[in-house]
Structure 1
């Protein structure tokens, strides 16, 4: 795979040129961006997948849901439907896509909608439910919409500053576009990160004036199956098969090993819809452990199924600073 990526370097140069031209056309106004008279918060990244966007959306939903009419708008990647859809009680994971369905299931009082056309999606949300804050999931590259506040995510182990363009690297947008972010969150950090290492990362990012840099790690909670929590110790008494269909399962794998668990790992592509043969294989296993995103595609199909909840844990209580930033933004927009 690494060799193929190196061979594809000329293609990445063409890709980079197209990306820069597109952004330039938006910057000079040849391609139009639209603002809205409603607070819109965008969560995104410069690379492909695996930076922790869904846990960040859920964190923001938790922050806003009791004080604001909150809506989440996602593309609904790999969903088996088209156009604008709002999550309903009878909605399925195939209709909404795994990540929006996960959010819809966890926060049924929050409106979750999907539409690849974000402008249309925002207009439909305003017309149908009139939210007073919209969270745009994975929309950093969707420049047809100009959000009021943008949170850019980049991972500790693969900073966008050290990356290169697709297909040689993982970048899908230009590094300099990070200047459009109000806040940059370095995700998947070690739970204890020395200040000197933070300073090195900040020096690489080179934040512009008033741009905040935050650091977070992933926190995993006790596994859940059939709405029941199981301890790591009890889980360790079972023969575990870890099933993952996410971009980068390495942090979860490391966490499980640190809990002393022994398991086989069946790895699938991101957003993978499991086949009948794969489900039959899973049914033959004593215990299937999976991610929350995979769980919504597997629940109801297996009896021996557990998932590991994950959330962002901001280092040094930086979440309070971000919350204050968001409160200030909402007050300015009201």
Structure 2
């Protein structure tokens, strides 16, 4: 109830915000504000809301699909304490480049990862030595005219009433979806009924040349934070789970873990949260107090990038703390369409084509 009242109070500010971004959008559409197009394939993965739609696993999907090319991922590096252009290297941390770029760097060994709040500057730094660039979370960065825009929508939020910032979590107006080349609905249920699939299309009202495609999450095996130990999810059936998250939407993860245990203690923090030693110590104390012989600490892959920076006296190597990797997969027909669109775009826009 209090949240609803707060939203009502913030609605006038959302109106002002909406007018401002609509004006900015028009200035780019009219060519008054300059948008730069580059002579190599530039794929943008974005969304209209703040966080939680699955941009990171979608970007990883693209990297696997385009493995034959020399790829650079360029991100703003949200949450970092640095400025300007930085190329990820062995000294990179979540504080220097952000947690998501650090995940890319640690996980995708044959890919260049860089951060820069000025995407034009970032692309200029990368373009001569790469075949293509993937922009992570840059749909609103109109200074770059990406060659191919993938816009993500979370399945469970379609059809619900959403507000612009600050009353809600939308950072862009719904009409901006018309700029996208593909509308990708993420975190869809499995199996996906035809009626649900059609409901997504009806809600998004795509242009005639805008495919609406659906993807879902695939969960991997649990991986230890500090060593190479791997556990299948089946092995933690009926365990007491201490879940630690600092992501925008932990609900799909909770639903997955509930398939294996009803005994889940969830410590939830905001997206990109920088965990303090005091917070970790409090969480670990709760874990230590449990007398259950079968207990485990689980976090997300993104959170693991920040947790590794916590001193080992708070998270010692012998503690059973694991992260759960996720992947994006598309339903069969949609996968064929999506892969073909991406591969054809890159092939036809290469500099030597």
Taking the TM superposition and a 5 Å limit, the aligned residue runs for 1:25-44 are 25-44=27-46
Instruction: Give the equivalent residue in structure 1 for 2:206.
Output: 207
Secondary structure of the corresponding residue to residue 61 of structure 2 = helix
Taking the TM superposition and a 5 Å limit, the aligned residue runs for 1:1-334 are 1-65=3-67, 67-127=68-128, 130-159=129-158, 162-225=161-224, 226-236=227-237, 238-284=239-285, 285=287, 287-299=296-308, 301=312, 302=315, 303=317, 304=319, 305-334=321-350
For residues 93-150 of structure 1, the C-alpha deviation after alignment (integer angstroms, 9 at most, x for no partner) is: 21110000001000122100000000000001125xx111100000000000000000
Q: Tell me whether 300-309 or 176-185 shows the greater mean CA deviation.
A: 300-309
Q: CA shift at 1:170, angstroms? A: 1.8
Secondary structure of the corresponding residue to residue 48 of structure 1 = coil
Secondary structure of the corresponding residue to residue 157 of structure 2 = coil
1:233 and 1:203 map into 2 onto residues whose CA distance is 38
Contiguous gaps of at least 5 residues in structure 1: none
Report the RMSD for the aligned CA atoms in angstroms.
Answer: 1.6
1:207 and 1:180 map into 2 onto residues whose CA distance is 10
2:188 and 2:297 map into 1 onto residues whose CA distance is 27
TM-score normalised to the size of structure 1?
Answer: 0.95
Q: Tell me whether 133-142 or 169-178 shows the greater mean CA deviation.
A: 169-178
Query: Retained in 2: the 8 A contact 1:46–1:160?
Result: no
Query: Retained in 2: the 8 A contact 1:282–1:288?
Result: no
1:177 and 1:84 map into 2 onto residues whose CA distance is 28
Q: Tell me whether 133-142 or 322-331 shows the greater mean CA deviation.
A: 322-331
Secondary structure of the corresponding residue to residue 216 of structure 1 = strand
Q: CA shift at 1:281, angstroms? A: 2.5
Query: Retained in 2: the 8 A contact 1:160–1:175?
Result: no
For residues 195-240 of structure 1, the C-alpha deviation after alignment (integer angstroms, 9 at most, x for no partner) is: 1221122012111122111111112122111222113343346432
Aligned residues: 331
Q: CA shift at 1:276, angstroms? A: 1.1
Secondary structure of the corresponding residue to residue 140 of structure 1 = coil
For residues 161-196 of structure 1, the C-alpha deviation after alignment (integer angstroms, 9 at most, x for no partner) is: 842211222211111111110001111111112112
Q: CA shift at 1:260, angstroms? A: 2.8
TM-score normalised to the size of structure 2?
Answer: 0.90
1:299 and 1:219 map into 2 onto residues whose CA distance is 24
